[in-house]
Structure 1
Amino acid sequence: MVAIANVVFAYAGHVAFFAFFSELRDVRDYSRALALLQLSEMTLYIATAVVIYVLVGKDVASPSLNSVGPLFKKISYGIAIPTIVIAGVVNAHVAVKSIYLRMFRGRNAMHSRSFSAISLWAAVSATLWFLAWVVAESIPVFNDILGLTSSLFASWFTFSLPGMFWLHLNVHGRPLGWKQTILIGFNCINVIIGIAI
């Protein structure tokens, strides 16, 4: 089950899509940007997985950068660390922004650069980063951290919530055609898969 959760985790970045969609100057660019992102992401993931599997075989360490020699390990981590930090910052930004908007909802201070607004943003950011650090330090095995976060969040955001949203938006007690019935079944299966993972 951890292997499935890790695959789900690899493609769980879509949680941030809507937060960035709301900040685009021209929302018509969203579809093209999303298609380019997904195409490049899948290409890089598949190419990396194939190269690692061909060169290392079935004994790949977790994380896979630990499977190479000492020199290449340092070079690989030097290249990978900025992307890992950026991925963490993107998801943290989405979470901080969501909390910040709920705390300042209905007040003019939300869009100001006042001391209280900046202090609140910094406090929420520091709190979330501290909690992430505590979780990361309390679970020493990298694969277990990925499995835990994927099971708690990624599978829920990837399968269950989209299925629930679709059902909420499209099932209203009206007569259903065969296509609608198939889509209802598909989304019910999505919800069950998200709960199971």
Structure 2
Amino acid sequence: MSAFLNISYTFIGQITIPSFIAEMKEPKDFPKALWCVTIAEIFVFGIVGAVVYAFTGNQYNTSPAFGSLGNDIFKKVAFSFMIPTLIFLGVLYASVSSRFIFFRIFEGTRHKSSHTVVGWAAWAGILAATWLGAFIIAEVIPFFSDLLSLMSSLFDSFFGFIFWGVAYIRMRKADGGINWLKDATPYGYAMLALNVFIIIIGFYFLGAGTYTSVQSIIDSYAAGTIAEIPHAFQPLLLPSSLPHTEQ
């Protein structure tokens, strides 16, 4: 379960698709770009994963996988290729999240589409708060793999499965009217069954995935395999949430 959740966290980025389509000059060209990106990432992720597991195995594998490299020079070179990707992903998700909040706050006002001091100040503040929150979470939480699994089960289960299944049903209902289900073709029934199945998968990973992730965190703390929270961030947490150690 944890392995699937980690993989799905990497592949499920569909929630950013509406933002991309809305900003394209020719939105109809988006499917071609999506096919190219998906095929490329499957090949790249598959090759990197296969090479890492082939040469390091499961016992010495770390997360992220580049940390498994024994040669320090190779490790630094590998991590240098990660820096542009991390910056791009950080900017991308921060922008999408901030836009959602910004549009909700200023919907129906001139600050949404005009260059105003209030609008720009709010946009900068939302971005800064998003980056600050992400930095604190990344530094405070001392486990990486379980964190990805937990975020994937809580958020990707909805944005990657439930949301799109429900969206398909609502779109078909809007296009076909009140008798859309009665007038559906065999292909329409097949697509409906597929999307209902996708929704069920989403709820399964939301429930079972969240339970598995939380239990894995509890087991890791009990086994003492999780590093201590950095001292600089310990005052931000409640004393009861910190690992208890006897003096």
TM-score calculated relative to the size of structure 1 = 0.91
Q: Is the 8 A contact 1:96 1:124 kept in 2?
A: yes
Paired residue for 1:25? 25
Match of 1:87 among 86, 89, 92: 89
How many pairs are equivalent? 197
Paired residue for 1:15? 15
Paired residue for 1:63? 64
> Equivalences for 1:100-115 in 2 at 5 Å?
100-115=102-117
Paired residue for 1:72? 74
Report the secondary structure of 1:106's partner residue.
Answer: coil
Q: In the aligned structure 1, how far is the partner of 2:28 from the partner of 2:168? A: 23
Structure 1 vs Structure 2: percent identity of aligned residues?
29
Match of 1:168 among 167, 170, 191: 170
**How has the CA–CA distance of structure 1 residues 147 and 127 changed in structure 2, closer, same or farther, with 3 Å as cutoff?**
same
Q: In the aligned structure 2, how far is the partner of 1:86 from the partner of 1:173? A: 42
Say what the alpha-carbon RMSD is for the aligned residues.
1.7
Cα deviation for residue 117 of structure 1 reads 1.1
Match of 1:97 among 88, 96, 99: 99
Paired residue for 2:236? none
Q: In the aligned structure 2, how far is the partner of 1:120 from the partner of 1:157? A: 26
Report the secondary structure of 1:22's partner residue.
Answer: helix
Paired residue for 1:43? 43
Cα deviation for residue 67 of structure 1 reads 0.5
Q: Is the 8 A contact 1:5 1:155 kept in 2?
A: no
Q: In the aligned structure 2, how far is the partner of 1:125 from the partner of 1:15? A: 18
Unaligned runs of 5+ in 2: 174-179, 206-247
Cα deviation for residue 185 of structure 1 reads 2.2
Q: In the aligned structure 1, how far is the partner of 2:197 from the partner of 2:155? A: 18
Cα deviation for residue 176 of structure 1 reads 4.2
Bigger RCO of structures 1 and 2 (CA < 8 A, at least 6 apart) = 1
Q: In the aligned structure 2, how far is the partner of 1:164 from the partner of 1:6? A: 24
- Which whole-Å deviations, capped at 9, do the CAs of 1:91-118 have from their partners, x for residues lacking one? 1111111111122211222222322111
- Which whole-Å deviations, capped at 9, do the CAs of 1:40-97 have from their partners, x for residues lacking one? 2112111111221222223321110110022222221111122012112101111111
Q: Is the 8 A contact 2:13 2:160 kept in 1?
A: no
Q: In the aligned structure 2, how far is the partner of 1:28 from the partner of 1:190? A: 25
Amino acid at match of 2:150: L
Q: Is the 8 A contact 1:156 1:194 kept in 2?
A: yes
Cα deviation for residue 4 of structure 1 reads 1.0
Unaligned runs of 5+ in 1: none
Cα deviation for residue 20 of structure 1 reads 1.3
Q: In the aligned structure 1, how far is the partner of 2:188 from the partner of 2:29? A: 30
Match of 1:131 among 109, 130, 133: 133
Report the secondary structure of 1:181's partner residue.
Answer: helix
Amino acid at match of 1:93: S
Report the secondary structure of 2:84's partner residue.
Answer: helix
